[in-house]
């Protein structure tokens, strides 16, 4: 996850006065069933033909796909977008309410923010003689003090991740023909049984703003952040996923107070730039920890549905659920922002692992030269990553670590055994281009070492065949700014019968020559001239290999 040091998002270049309207125009153009009413401004469905209860929601823009992306069959009938992080006005809400009413009444789903609450309340007053209305207030965020609610005149808990769950369940209830009173009661049941907590590793930046919404030092995170860019209730050091989720669940469960054995719906939500891999890590921890506490995660949702522009972080929502809520959660919807497929069964902890390859090198005599090579690479992972960030896509150091970090030093075994272990490790553990090419390199060296005890002969035979196979695989030639620029001159030197010291020098000179080249192969070729002046990390590792061989002799 982010360390909080990323630069502020500058946003796509667009006239700030047209930012919201152009975004809405793109959404409508891409969605068959959506239309925009410009006066006073709301989105609505065009495909509804029944006469059931209608749902209206809305809020400040910047939380998409909530709410505009959740307009569709089985969810919202209209959404009222405000400016970024600003509630819609009462005229928008009132007009949308009148437009979608089919005689069965209209339910407002409202996040507990002061502007939203006020404007939706005013709108209901404006239409009270025309449309039957009711509302569900969503107030799930336990980071804000529930003790500052109505009794003390404070705003209470903020409305956050649970909002989309209320919209989904209420939309399904309306679609099956429930009355306004019934739909309202179901929505309030979901809201009452839902609690959320959010964290951020980097702030959001409002379009046209000069700076992010808050500042974070490297290694810090906001604990209890809001979805409008608000800083958290605490600033803490970044934590491992298990500790972080444990702290969040502690607050959520203390507020929700589910009974032992209760069925739960768990929603892990990305706040803007959290990657799906990160969200899945969070859900893995949530389901493990809740299961350990004796709860059943009966339904789950992992998606970025309630965002805060480009904030890097996530929220965790837990809902106490029953059979009816589960049935309505599972019901189909045509809302474009809702995931096409969601889980329809209980979630349980799953143990996932990759089978360990047979690549140990820990028995027999010490292999000094291969130990020196592997040790040098292990110590240089960060440097190799930095080189590849300048010359390619930044994954070279990661691939080297994946292949070699598990080896304990010193390496032990015959040359053939250790070379075979290294080759297997590259092929199985590293993957990618680096894994394939270095896997082939060490595989051919191991094959040659199995046929001769003369290291110079092993290198001479193995390197030539490895070079042939590598060039056949990737098509690289000298001058393409790849590991071939070090491997080919080393092969030539070996063929000329010179000393290993001279072979190592030829490989080092070849690696250095890549500093002035522009890659024409591999991902480094995508960055063009920006890679000039940087040594290719693959060529550098090849040079280190020959240096280790020469130094040992």
Length of the chain in terms of residues written: 553
Q: CB within 8 A of 338, min separation 6: which ones?
A: 65, 69, 70, 72, 75, 168, 305
How far lies 156's CA from each of 145, 250, 499, in Å? 6, 19, 78
Rounded Cα gap, residues 159 and 166, in angstroms: 11
Q: Which strands sit side by side in the sheet containing 194-202, from one edge to the other?
A: 234-237, 220-223, 194-202, 312-320, 263-270, 296-303
Joined tokens for residue 454 = 């003369």
Give 365-395 as a DSSP string.
Answer: SB-HHHHHHHHHHHHTHHHHHHHHHHHSSS-
Asked if residues 536 and 507 have their Cβ atoms less than 8 Å apart, the reply is no
Rounded Cα gap, residues 336 and 40, in angstroms: 24
Rounded Cα gap, residues 404 and 15, in angstroms: 51
> Does residue 228 have an active-site annotation?
yes
DSSP secondary-structure letter at 431? -
Asked if residues 31 and 336 have their Cβ atoms less than 8 Å apart, the reply is yes
User: What crossing angle do the helices spanning 162-175 and 323-330 adopt, rounded to 10°?
Assistant: 80
Catalytic member of 63, 67, 108, 228 = 228
Asked if residues 194 and 162 have their Cβ atoms less than 8 Å apart, the reply is yes
For the chain, the C-alpha Rg in angstroms (whole number) is: 30
Among the listed residues 104, 107, 46, the one whose alpha carbon sits nearest the alpha carbon of residue 71: 46
Joined tokens for residue 219 = 């290694």
SS3 content of the chain, % helix, strand, coil (to 5): 45, 15, 40
Asked if residues 413 and 367 have their Cβ atoms less than 8 Å apart, the reply is yes
Rounded Cα gap, residues 519 and 532, in angstroms: 8
- The set of catalytic residues is 228
């Amino acid at each position: 996850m982010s360390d909080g040091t990323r630069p502020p998002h500058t946003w796509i270049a667009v006239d700030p006065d047209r930012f919201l309207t152009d975004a809405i125009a793109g959404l409508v153009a891409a969605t068959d069933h959506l239309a925009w009413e410009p006066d006073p401004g709301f989105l609505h469905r065009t495909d509804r033909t029944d006469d059931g209860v209608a749902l209206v929601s809305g809020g400040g823009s910047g939380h998409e796909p909530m709410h505009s992306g959740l307009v569709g069959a089985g969810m919202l009938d209209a959404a009222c977008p405000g400016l970024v992080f600003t509630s819609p006005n009462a005229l928008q809400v009132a007009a949308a309410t009148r437009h979608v009413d089919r005689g069965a009444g209209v339910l407002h789903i409202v996040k507990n923010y002061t502007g939203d609450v006020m404007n939706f309340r005013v709108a209901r007053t404006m239409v009270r003689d025309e449309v039957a209305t009711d509302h569900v207030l969503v107030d799930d965020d336990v980071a804000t003090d529930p003790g500052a609610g109505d009794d003390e005149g404070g705003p209470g808990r903020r409305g956050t991740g649970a909002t989309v769950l209320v919209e989904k369940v209420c939309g399904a209830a309306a679609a099956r023909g429930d009355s306004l009173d019934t739909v309202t009661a179901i929505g309030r049941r979901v809201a009452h049984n839902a609690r959320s907590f959010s964290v951020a590793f980097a702030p959001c930046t409002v379009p046209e703003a000069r700076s992010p919404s808050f500042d974070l030092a490297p290694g810090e995170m906001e604990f209890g952040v809001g979805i409008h860019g608000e800083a958290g209730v605490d600033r803490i050091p970044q934590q491992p996923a298990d500790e972080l989720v444990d702290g969040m669940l502690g607050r959520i469960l203390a507020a929700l107070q589910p009974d032992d054995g209760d069925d739960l719906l768990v929603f892990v939500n990305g706040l803007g730039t959290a990657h799906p891999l990160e969200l899945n890590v969070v859900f893995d921890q949530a389901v493990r920890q809740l299961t350990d506490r004796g709860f059943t995660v009966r339904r789950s949702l992992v998606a970025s549905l309630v965002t805060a522009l480009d904030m890097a972080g996530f929220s965790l929502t837990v809902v106490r659920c029953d059979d009816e809520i589960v049935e309505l959660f599972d019901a189909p919807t045509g809302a474009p922002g809702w995931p096409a497929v969601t889980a329809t069964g209980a979630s349980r902890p799953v143990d996932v692992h990759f089978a360990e390859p047979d690549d140990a090198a820990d028995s027999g005599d010490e292999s000094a030269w291969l130990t020196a090579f592997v040790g040098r690479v292990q110590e240089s992972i960060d440097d190799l990553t930095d080189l590849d960030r300048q010359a390619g896509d930044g994954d070279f150091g990661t691939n080297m670590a994946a292949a070699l970090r598990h080896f304990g030093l010193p390496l032990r075994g015959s040359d053939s055994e250790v070379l075979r272990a290294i080759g297997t490790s590259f092929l199985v553990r590293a993957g990618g281009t680096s894994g394939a090419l270095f896997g082939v390199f060490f595989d051919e060296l191991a094959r040659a070492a199995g046929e001769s005890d003369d290291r110079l002969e092993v290198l001479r035979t193995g390197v030539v065949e490895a070079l042939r196979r590598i060039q056949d695989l990737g098509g690289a030639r000298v001058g393409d700014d790849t590991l071939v620029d070090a491997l080919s001159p080393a092969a030539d030197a070996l063929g000329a019968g010179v000393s290993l010291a001279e072979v190592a020098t030829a490989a080092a000179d070849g690696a250095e020559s890549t500093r002035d080249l522009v890659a024409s192969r591999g991902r480094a070729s995508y960055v063009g001239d920006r890679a000039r002046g940087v040594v290719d990390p693959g060529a550098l590792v090849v040079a280190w290999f020959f240096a280790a061989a020469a130094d040992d002799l």
